[in-house]
């Protein structure tokens, strides 16, 4: 049985969705509707950039929703694809809800545009940041954050994305992150049993997403989402905040709110998809980030396909028809 995956911020690239637009009427209709709803030329933004404009959070989030739902609509139109369950990474959860019929496309576009703006407003530029921590368990990453807060006196610093075993992103105060980089010594932090290998990779992001500093954005989105109609999802959505599935409109709405300042439990989401019966999954959207993470989580549990070209689309159609 098939699962559906929808990527989040960081997967965007100039040119995304162009092959869909050029070959499928349904995709062109998606691009036209997005441009009309938000008063912006999304064909130009997605196909021509420039990259720094596409990377602006308030542009990236609706552009990803557009590209992901266009890919899903095309694939569904070709195959009548039946989904056992789906999940989206961070803003990708909105695309999952749109694809499942729980949220209207136009409403999703407006919501993620406001979400991007609210998240950017929540913390002044330069006061927050994010950092990938490689080589630590989830528990060790949480301990690292607690240690930094205690030793430096700077806060907050929290796990933000549990992306895969040994790959956790932390989020919080720029001062806390700077102190961590200057004082990172696993032999001291994790004595007497330090991890064999661990390293930090600062991320080039505009805000400290999925941490308590996002609380102002969460409150804004609570009001925004309360005003939008949600429907019963046609298939279960495994949500970031709890890593459990739901089709209930109010539960889907509430967890969209809570995920803004809550950690993305992506490792647990992929494992839950497997428990629900997904043995293959399609990453509907640009790039291969989620496919790479799925392999790291468990290469034998949920095999993934990507749709980044006409050839990819044909390979997916063949796999679907053959029941692979």
What residues are labeled active site?
90, 210
Task: Determine the Cα–Cα distance for residues 324 and 312; give it in Å rounded to an integer.
Answer: 15
Contact assessment for residue 217 and residue 66, using Cβ atoms and an 8 Å cutoff: no
Burial label for 193, CB within 10 Å (0-12, 13-18, 19+), is: exposed
Structure tokens at 308: 């980044």
Type and span of the H or E element at 243: none
Burial label for 188, CB within 10 Å (0-12, 13-18, 19+), is: exposed
- Greatest pairwise CA separation for the chain in angstroms: 61
Name, in order, each residue with C-beta under 8 angstroms of 151's C-beta and a sequence gap of 6 or more: 179, 183
Name, in order, each residue with C-beta under 8 angstroms of 248's C-beta and a sequence gap of 6 or more: 232
Burial label for 190, CB within 10 Å (0-12, 13-18, 19+), is: middle
**Is the backbone of residue 207 left (phi > 0), alpha (psi -120 to 50) or beta?**
beta
Return phi, psi of residue 233, to 5°: -70, 145
Task: Determine the Cα–Cα distance for residues 16 and 60; give it in Å rounded to an integer.
Answer: 11
Task: Determine the Cα–Cα distance for residues 253 and 47; give it in Å rounded to an integer.
Answer: 31
> Rg for the chain (alpha carbons), in Å?
19
Coil, strand or helix at 169:
strand
């Amino acid at each position: 049985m098939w699962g559906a995956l929808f990527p989040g911020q960081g997967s965007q690239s100039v040119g995304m969705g162009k092959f869909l637009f050029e070959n499928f009427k349904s995709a062109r209709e998606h691009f036209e509707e997005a441009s009309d709803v938000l008063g912006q030329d999304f064909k130009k933004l997605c196909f021509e950039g420039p990259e720094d404009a596409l990377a602006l959070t308030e542009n990236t989030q609706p552009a990803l929703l557009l590209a992901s739902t266009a890919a899903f609509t095309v694939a569904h139109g070709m195959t009548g694809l039946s989904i056992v369950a789906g999940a989206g990474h961070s803003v990708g959860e909105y695309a999952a809800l749109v694809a499942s019929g729980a949220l209207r496309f136009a409403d999703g576009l407006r919501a993620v545009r406001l979400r991007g703006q609210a998240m950017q407003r929540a913390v002044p530029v330069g006061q927050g940041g994010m950092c990938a921590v490689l080589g630590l368990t989830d528990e060790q990453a949480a301990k690292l954050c607690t240690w930094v807060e205690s030793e430096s006196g700077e806060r907050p610093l929290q796990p933000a994305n549990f992306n895969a075993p040994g790959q956790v992103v932390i989020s919080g105060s720029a001062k806390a992150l700077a102190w961590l980089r200057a004082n990172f010594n696993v032999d001291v932090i994790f004595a007497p049993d330090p991890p064999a290998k661990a390293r930090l990779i600062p991320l080039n992001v505009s805000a400290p997403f999925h941490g308590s500093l996002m609380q102002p954005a969460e409150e804004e989105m609570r009001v925004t989402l309360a005003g939008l109609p949600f429907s019963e999802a046609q298939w279960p959505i495994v949500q970031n905040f709890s890593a459990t599935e739901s089709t209930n409109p109010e539960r889907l709405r509430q967890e969209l709110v809570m995920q803004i300042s809550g950690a993305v439990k992506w490792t647990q989401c992929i494992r839950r998809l497997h428990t629900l019966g997904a043995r293959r999954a399609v990453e509907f959207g640009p790039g291969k980030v989620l496919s790479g993470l799925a392999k790291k989580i468990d290469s034998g549990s949920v095999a993934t396909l990507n749709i980044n070209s006409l050839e990819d689309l044909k390979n997916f159609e063949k796999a679907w028809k053959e029941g692979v």
